[in-house]
Amino acid sequence: MKAISSSLFALALTTASLSLHAQQPATPPAWQPHADAVERADVPHGTVIDMPAWESTIFANTTRDWSIYVPAQYKKGDPAALMIFQDGKGYKDTKDAGESLSSSTTSSPEATCR
């Protein structure tokens, strides 16, 4: 009797699993960013400043590109929050369709931080 119950339970699980699998879409939906990650016209836009490439003194032939984001509300002399991203320049690209922020960046920190 116990063997029959176990077999019926296994059959029920298999049937339920197949039913759930059949309901899933063939391809997953396209990824969409969270609403907090989408550029909005009513939020002040700061400036991204590309800095000179950093060159390691420890690891030969190792350089890193880096940038500084200066919030639109920043006032020289006031304390400012610091956030560090260590996983690529993708955070700089906030435009839809992969447009770059390069048109709003500058190569001189003095241009914005005076």
> pLDDT digits over 6-63, tens only?
666 666 666 666 655 556 667 888 888 888 878 889 989 888 889 999 999 999 999 9
DSSP three-state, residue 70: strand
Task: Give the pLDDT of residue 112.
Answer: 44
Where are the domains positioned within the chain?
Answer: 35-111
Q: Which residues pair with 35 in a beta bridge?
A: none
Please, which residues have CB within 8 angstroms of residue 68's CB and are 6 or more apart in sequence? 48, 49, 51, 109
Compare 103 and 59 and report the one with higher pLDDT.
59
Quote the pTM value: 0.48
Using CA atoms, how far apart are residues 20 and 22, in angstroms rounded to an integer?
5
For residue 24, give the amino acid letter.
Answer: Q
**Structure confidence at residue 61 (pLDDT):** 94
